Chains A and B, each alone.
Chain A
């Protein structure tokens, strides 16, 4: 299976759904308002925001009218191109060692699992990796991460449940510096972005990280669950305000959820997607590729 084969396979259920809907569109021969309305509906049912869906479809409609286009396939291509341009604008993030990756997100999006996969990925690239178990809040979160650390065969720096998360970060950085670790990945407790005190805790961890590890490239990644709806936007916005977000990891793409909100996110907040999670196994993580993502959708 090629690099994107798995993503494609994961998205094929999505594809079936969309293709069926689009097939319905293609069968009608005239391009009328219905056609554009249905395009809009398709985007919306993939969790693209109403606003973005309207804007993108309006743009395509205008272009199509200007070019006096009567071919539906051509309009679909226009849509793909437009979506591609929306998603593909940023340089990919380089994980040049030493690097410290802080992984944040709301509860239940799959942070811990994603960290296990990421650690494995970097190990396979020949890098040395350690993990900091700074989710000291959720019951058994550290145990869960330990299992993943074992699977990926990486070192884990941990403390007891209820310990200060920033202290774990401090310990992990000292250890990474001493052992010259290429990649340090920091797990954080899931928190609803509206909880001010928890966001403060995150800021503190960020400060400790910056202060203690000035030589490292610090990257903050937010994990978003593909089954989420429009709230994803608020999540990225709030975490971004608190600690600054460099990239997105989109998880649970192996279901039927489309994760279309990343189109709106890229459109409005300009935060790039770096990885996608496509299953529960340790290898189920892929680099994000806008073209593949869109092609897999249609």
Chain B
């Protein structure tokens, strides 16, 4: 259908072979979980995390009753999704604020994770919130790192405190003292990238922490990180007791399984996502979007849930019958749009579809495709038809079209367009009926 991609396609394939039974059996779950495992591993979720996760999901899935409104695929995905979201925790974009100002925020991470850029983005964000942040340059190792922070700071409109290639612990301390005397309410400390196994440099971070007592220690993680994410996050957390995670480079096409690995091992909230090269490209973290990204699909679950709310089982049965008998009329067409509206409008629904939401620049929804005004005029056109016309659109000749156009305040072309679209939808329904994997 092009609707579900990746994992759901594979699951559809597995479940298409099964007859509808009352419960998902252990064997079916096992087969499905193999695909879930592969999907998560392909997304770079750490293998240990995957094992725990799959065990947990299997336990929940075995013996579950198949809900009438969901296909087995949808049901398994629903469980997988719920567990993923639960694991990733709730949205938490709040930064701690100290009782004794300034609030100190300290960065940590591997080389190239994007710490310096992030310091600029955070400064820019705080500035917009009316705060007065001071950026402190404690990366004294990488050539030109201080210059980079100065340039970024200038763009963000933030003051940068630097003491050249001195002792980072001392610089951090002096930076905080400077902030106190000059009325800065927040201090953001940039630190050099380092390997988690570099004991001397890790000790340096511990010393900075001890010296300035930060309210936040943010571990910056490149969203493209592979299996090692667990080890990195575990070590940084053990040595520094981090307060949160920030993901960078999410504007790429990575699935971002590292998020799950880092979150699972540290239990710390994911505070922000960096989604572009501009200073304003910093977003709060949405666990549900991330879950779908990792599984390689859109917000299918939300769609499923909204469908559940909007469509009563009775409605669904009626619709199914109509599709089977191919007796889908313009009245039903109208009902369908009303349902869609209940689900949050076509734009919302589309954005929840796989490959159309977050990160998938290839499949940007064009404004003209989802013109809600056009939908309204479509509604007017259908409502201007007589009951007989709605039941059997074949009788609509040119004089009828003119009457409908007048009644709906549209044009004959508009009437033609609605009729054509209705025909196309009917064709689509026919295809859906023939596709066994798709249970309406």
Contact = CB atoms under 8 A, between A and B. Distances in A.
Interface of A: 13, 41, 44-47, 49-50, 106-110, 138-141, 143-144, 146-148, 161, 192-195, 225, 227-232, 234, 252, 254-258, 261, 280
Given A49-B42, A230-B43, A108 B113 contact: yes
B197 A144 contact: no
A231 B252 contact: yes
A254 B110 CA distance: 12
A110 B147 contact: no
Given A194-B251, A255-B195, A227 B222 contact: yes
Given A50-B38, A229-B44, 16 more contacts: A46-B227, A108-B112, A138-B148, A139-B152, A143-B147, A144-B144, A194-B361, A195-B251, A227-B222, A228-B226, A229-B227, A230-B226, A231-B44, A255-B195, A255-B228, A256-B196
Contact of B44 (A108, A230, A256): A230
A199 to B, nearest CB: 12
Interface in B144-186: 144-145, 147-148, 150-152, 155
26 contacts: A41-B47, A45-B227, A47-B226, A47-B227, A107-B112, A108-B113, A110-B112, A138-B148, A139-B151, A141-B148, A192-B249, A192-B251, A195-B251, A225-B224, A228-B222, A229-B254, A230-B43, A230-B255, A231-B252, A234-B253, A252-B112, A254-B195, A255-B195, A256-B228, A256-B231, A258-B228
Q: Interface residues of A: mostly helix, strand, loop or mixed?
A: loop
Interface of B: 38, 41-44, 46-47, 110-114, 141-145, 147-148, 150-152, 155, 195-197, 222, 224-229, 231-232, 249, 251-255, 257-258, 361
Given A140-B151, A194-B253, A227-B110, A256 B197 contact: yes
Nearest to B45: A229
A254 B197 CA distance: 9
Nearest to B146: A140
Nearest to A198: B277
Contacts of B254: 229-231, 234
Contacts of B112: 107-110, 225, 252
Interface centre among A139, A192, A229, A256 (most CB of B within 10 A): A229
Contacts of B225: 227-229
Contacts of A147: 143-144
B432 to A, nearest CB: 31
B385 to A, nearest CB: 45
B42 A50 contact: yes
Contacts of A254: 195
Nearest to A54: B38
A257 B226 contact: yes
Nearest to A192: B252
A50 B36 CA distance: 12
B114 A108 contact: yes
Nearest to B114: A108
Contact of B224 (A13, A46, A229): A229
Contacts of B46: 45
A255 B114 CA distance: 18
A144 B249 contact: no
Contacts of B361: 194
Nearest to A257: B228
A140 B148 contact: yes
Contacts of B44: 47, 229-231
A292 to B, nearest CB: 21
Contacts of A194: 251-253, 361
B47 A227 contact: no
A140 B253 contact: no
A255 B110 contact: yes
